[in-house]
Structure 1
C-alpha cells in the first residue's frame, strides 16, 4: 500500500446525504486547487450526474472483478448498490498533486482514516433534517429513495463528533469560504488572498 509522506493529505467530505457535501467539496477543491479521487459505484447515475465526474459508474460484474483483484481500499453496500475507492487512484493522485479529496459516507471515511491515519482529515458537512429533505426533493429523488436516505440521517449525524472539522451548510457561499480558509490556514498554508 502507498505510504503518505508528511506533506500529503487526503480530505474526506462526509455527512448526511442531501447536506450538500459533494457541492461543498467540489467548490472548495476548485478554490484550493485540490483534485478529487472519484469513487466507483454499481448504481445508475442520477439525471444530473456525469460518469467520471461524480462517480465511475460500472457494472456489478466489473465491480466484482476489481474487488477480486483487491483493487479497492474500501467497499460498502448501500441500498443494494456497491461503492468503492481504488487504492491505485488514491496513490496516483496523491503522488501527482500532494493533496486530494473524496466524498464518502461515514463508513468510507472511517475506512480511509484507519488506512491512512492522521494524513486523513474528515470534514463533516451537515444541515438540519428538514433542509436535507427539501434538497433531496429539489434534486428529484424519488419518495422511496428520500425515505431510505432519511432513515440513515441520525446515524450519519452521530459521526459528526468523530470528524476533525464540522461545518453546517445553510448558506453555500459562507460554508465554502469558512471551510477553504480553515483548510488553507491549518493544513495547506497557501496564503489565499482574503478579498473581503
Structure 2
C-alpha cells in the first residue's frame, strides 16, 4: 500500500446514485487541479460513458484475475457488478498530483478512510429521492435500474453522518462553488473570492 506524505490528500465523493457526485467532483477537481483515480468495473458502459475516463470497463474474468493477484485495495458489488480501486493507480496519480479524488459508494469510502485515516476527506453529495428518480430517468436509466439504486437510498443517506462535509446538490453551480471553497482550505491554495 502507498504511504502518503504529509500534505497528500484523498478526497472521496460519496452519496446516492444520481445525486451528481461525478459532475460535482469533476468540476471541483478541475478548478483545483486535483486528479481523479478511476475505478474498474465489470458493468457495461452506458451510452455516454468512455472507457478510461468514466471507468475502466473490464470483463469479470479480468477483474477476478486482478483481484486474485491482490491488485485492488477496495472491491464492492453494486447491482451484481463489481467495482474496484487499484493501489498502483493511487500511487501513480500521487506522483503526478499532490492530492487526488475518487468517486465511491459508502463502503468504498469507508475502506479508504480505514486505510489512509486523516488523509481522507469524505464528501457526501445528495439530493431528495424524487430528484434522484427524475435525474436517473433523464440519464436513460430504466425504471428497474432506478428502483434498484433507490432501494439503497436510506442506507446511503444514513452514511452522511460519518462524512466530513455534506452538500445537498440542488443547484449545481452553487454546490460546486461551496465545495471548491471547502476543499481549498485543505489544499491551502487561497483561491480569491470575487464578488
Quickly name the TM-score band, shorter chain normalised. over 0.9
Work out the CA distance in 2 between the residues paired with 1:174 and 1:143: 29
Q: What is aligned with 1:74?
A: 74
SS in 1 for 2:175: helix
Q: What is aligned with 1:42?
A: 42
Work out the CA distance in 2 between the residues paired with 1:121 and 1:172: 20
Q: How far did 1:167 drift?
A: 0.5
Work out the CA distance in 2 between the residues paired with 1:152 and 1:71: 28
Does structure 1 residue 153 correspond to structure 2 residue 123? Answer: no
List aligned pairs for 1:81-120, cutoff 5 A.
81-120=81-120
How many corresponding residue pairs? 195
Q: What is aligned with 1:192?
A: 191
Q: What is aligned with 2:179?
A: 179
Work out the CA distance in 2 between the residues paired with 1:113 and 1:134: 31
SS in 2 for 1:24: helix
SS in 2 for 1:159: helix
Unpaired segments ≥5 residues, structure 1: none
SS in 1 for 2:29: helix
Work out the CA distance in 2 between the residues paired with 1:96 and 1:23: 22
Work out the CA distance in 1 between the residues paired with 2:69 and 2:96: 24
Does structure 1 residue 22 correspond to structure 2 residue 22? Answer: yes
Q: How far did 1:193 drift?
A: 2.1
SS in 2 for 1:190: coil
Work out the CA distance in 2 between the residues paired with 1:18 and 1:99: 25
What's the TM-score, normalizing by structure 1? 0.98
Work out the CA distance in 1 between the residues paired with 2:152 and 2:47: 23
What's the TM-score, normalizing by structure 2? 0.98
Q: How far did 1:191 drift?
A: 1.4
